[in-house]
Amino acid sequence: MVVIRQRVKKGNKARKQLTLLHTADVIYDYQVILTNSDKEAEQVWRFYNKRACCENFIKEGVYGFGLDKVISHRYAGNYTWFELLMLAYNLMNFFKEEVLKQKKVKNTIQIIRDRLFLIPGRLISTGRRYVLKLEKTWFFREDYEEALVRLS
């Protein structure tokens, strides 16, 4: 068992958790890792700390792509649905890295939808073709245009 105790800096709040020890002056965040590994405590923490981001991937799948939905009463249908969601997830990550240039810190799918896919503008028809007229005061217009240039 490895117990990690980190002092919370003044002005910051501790993570949402039950109080382990009552100390008024100093606030700590605690993390407990149970393992059968023979490695040193710091090596165990480094190994499991890398794996903790998997929860964020699952959360992104659930909230961004509806991964928690079962759409069929048949295994093959649900398997196909899951594979399509994973394809969409991987394509979105490719889009984030290659088009939006988000290598280390990536926005969630909801933020990308709000900033780049929900476009304030009008689709008008002129001379046998459609033209998208964007709102001039749209806050994310530059990001959208940069993404279009990188896609071309």
3-state SS, one letter per residue, for the chain: CEEEEEECCCCCCCCCCCCCCCCCCCCEEEEEECCCCCCCHHHHHHHHHHHCCHHHHHHHHHHHHCCCCCCCCCHHHHHHHHHHHHHHHHHHHHHHHHHCCCCCCCCCHHHHHHHHHCCCEEEEEECCEEEEEECCCCCCHHHHHHHHHHHC
88 shares its domain with 127: no
Same domain, 24 and 44: yes
Rounded distance between C-alpha atoms, residue 150 and residue 35, angstroms: 45
pLDDT tens-digit map of 28-76:
777 788 888 888 888 888 888 777 677 778 888 888 888 888 888 999 9
97, 125: one domain: no
How many Å apart are CA 56 and CA 108, to the nearest integer? 10
96 and 65 fall within a common domain: yes
pLDDT tens figures, 94-104? 999 999 888 87
Residues recorded for the chain? 152
pLDDT band at residue 14 under the 50/70/90 scheme: low
Tokens 């105790």 belong to: 5
**pLDDT tens by residue, 71-94:** 889 999 999 999 999 999 999 989
Provide the pLDDT confidence category of residue 22 given band limits of 50, 70 and 90: low
Same domain, residue pair 64 and 82:
yes
Indicate whether 69 and 93 sit together in one domain: yes
How many domains does the structure of the chain reveal? 3
- Would residue 97 count as lying in a domain? yes
Domain annotation covers residue 110:
no
Provide the domain limits for residue 130: 115-151
45 and 65 share one domain: no
The answer as to whether 92 is a domain residue is yes
Mean pLDDT of the chain: 83
Per-residue pLDDT at 125? 93
Residue 100 covered by a domain:
yes
CA distance 77 to 85: 12
